[in-house]
Amino acid sequence: MTFAQSHTASEAESNDWKNRLAEYCAEFIQHVQTKSPMTDITPVLITRFLTGLTQPIFTKVKARQLQGFGVYEEKRYLAVKGAVTQCLSHR
């Protein structure tokens, strides 16, 4: 495998997790807005959800039952937060 092929594979993997992140964000936002409409949904809250860091609101809205809870626990927190912020800016 050449560097160009390896680089292209890395980009595809990067785009794949970011595309899935958008789906998880949308599901989480919709769920929280339905269950707790007064809750501010921030990039930090979404990032904590995606990286599996619990918050009291997650218990209230049963967020652990959602598909995206903790799916990015092995990714760097700041990388996930950056992707979430970017995702929200495109909404």
- Residue 76 per-residue DSSP state: -
**What pTM does this model have?**
0.83
Residue type, 78: L
Kindly tell me if the per-residue pLDDT of 84 is higher than 80.
yes
Q: DSSP assignment of 15-72, as one string?
A: HHHHHHHHHHHHHHHHHHHHH-TTS---HHHHHHHHHT---HHHHHHTGGGSTTTTTT
Q: What confidence score (pLDDT) does residue 45 get?
A: 98
Sketch the domain layout of the chain as residue ranges: 18-89
Tens digits of per-residue pLDDT, 36-63? 999 999 999 999 999 999 999 999 999 9
Q: State the pLDDT at residue 11.
A: 62
